[in-house]
Amino acid sequence: MNYDVVIIGAGAAGLMCAAQAGYRGRQVAVIDMGKKAGRKILISGGGRCNFTNENASPKNYLCRNPHFVKSCLSRYTQHDFIELVDRHGLAYHHKTLGQLFCDNSAQDIVDILLTECEWAGVALHLRHEVLNVERNEQGYTVTTNQGQLHCQSLVIASGGLTMPKLGATPIGYKIAEQFGLQVHPTTAALVPLTLHDHDKQRFEGLSGVSIDSLVSSEDGTQFRENILFTHRGLSGPAILQISSFWQAGQAVTINLLPDQDVTELLTGWREQSPQKSLKTVLATLLPKRFIEILTEEGALPDKPLNQLNHSEIKAIAQTLTQWQIKPNGTEGYRTAEVTLGGVDVDELSSKTFEAKKTPGLYFIGEVTDVTGWLGGYNFQYAWSSGWCCGQYC
């Protein structure tokens, strides 16, 4: 079968790109090994898809070249995607920190993309696993488990390595390497952190407990959201965010009382209620079991407030605002939301997403070395890169 454009991957980036190229009059085919299109969209945001973020800007992305995303994010913005979903009558709501979610189901987003693809005359080939690609004089030949497709332009939108159960494969990285493009090492990101056995034992009674915290990585990056104790370690939005900045062997620092001046608070309490024990008053601010654990371990003194001197109060404040924990790893691709690393963006045009060395070959979405924060930013990059590429491929 001959097409002008073949897109590998019927995910967020691939479907957006396909519709745009189709509207330009290109004969477009999208191939995906899954039996449904947009499988990651369907499971995203707890089934409600956090499809964009009202505040998306280049500072919300990790990329070895931080300027790369500026162009696509400004040419197809979150407001453009919101305009698209409004036009299709999507019911959605604002949750927190600019995050937009479907009211009903993530299926609504997939339906919008599939409708756009249908209007643009895009052919969708599901259950086609891409095995390899070759370049020839006419363009590219894509070999799948169901036969071959030929095209002038080949767009790689095959995503990252997260959720292997949903059909994540390294095909995009392999194609990049095949054509001599640099691929940066990949790791799981937006992922829960795991703890050493001794820490797991310390906090096992806290599984399910969450605390509004300010979490910092050793490079000084900070996120203010909840942390969540799990039976494997730490999760929750603040931990997922910091996981993209955390490196093996490093500690994370957690301010468990980010809105309080703890020294001032304890000094005031000591005057007002001198007989009360430290653990009783702290249990009004933080989960009781957590305070008990720190007290049993001696990290907090087991004393009434009137027995605390100023330097002890300062030490308590430090324990609670600079609580450090050293994870032993992450839960990996099995539970991660995204893949850090990927195709070096300096190999690509930031305008067209075409590989500079290989005319007719394009890379968009998560397969590239662009990783968004948690909060709808990853889909926004998929829409923006897909839309921009769709104007040129």
> Of 305, 325, 322, nearest to 313 (Cα)?
305
39 lines the binding site for ligand FDA (CB under 6 A): yes
Residue count, binding to ligand FDA (CB under 6 A): 37
Place of tokens 């079991």: 289
Task: Supply the minimum distance, in Å, between the C-beta of residue 50 and ligand FDA.
Answer: 3
Which string of x and - marks every residue 49-78 that binds ligand FDA (by CB under 6 A)?
A: xx----------------------------
The residues in 313-372 that bind ligand FDA, with binding defined as CB under 6 A, are: 337-338, 365-366
- Using an 8 Å Cβ cutoff, are 6 and 144 in contact? no
Token pair belonging to 144: 């799948």
Task: Supply the minimum distance, in Å, between the C-beta of residue 168 and ligand FDA.
Answer: 6
Helix (H, G, I), strand (E, B) or coil at 308: coil
10 lines the binding site for ligand FDA (CB under 6 A): yes
Task: Supply the minimum distance, in Å, between the C-beta of residue 368 and ligand FDA.
Answer: 8
Candidate residues 162, 187, 295, 358; the one interacting with ligand FDA per rule CB under 6 A? 162
Torsion angle (degrees, nearest 10) of CA 196, 200, 202, 208: 150
376 lines the binding site for ligand FDA (CB under 6 A): yes
Concatenated DSSP letters of 330-366: E--TTT-SEEEEEE-GGGB-TTT-BBSSSTTEEE-GG
Contacts 24+ apart (CB under 8 A), 91-94: 92/51, 94/54
Place of tokens 């955390």: 246
User: Do strands 123-125 and 28-31 pair parallel, antiparallel, or not at all (unpaired)?
Assistant: parallel
Which string of x and - marks every residue 92-131 that binds ligand FDA (by CB under 6 A)?
A: -------------------------------------xx-
Q: CB nearer to ligand FDA: give 28 or 157.
A: 157
Q: CB nearer to ligand FDA: give 139 or 365.
A: 365
Concatenated DSSP letters of 91-126: -EEE-STTEEEESS-THHHHHHHHHHHHHTT-EEE-
13 lines the binding site for ligand FDA (CB under 6 A): yes
Candidate residues 171, 281, 340, 388; the one interacting with ligand FDA per rule CB under 6 A? 171
Residues making contact with ligand FDA (CB under 6 A): 8-14, 31-34, 39-40, 43-45, 49-50, 129-130, 157-159, 162-163, 167, 169, 171, 337-338, 365-366, 376-379, 382
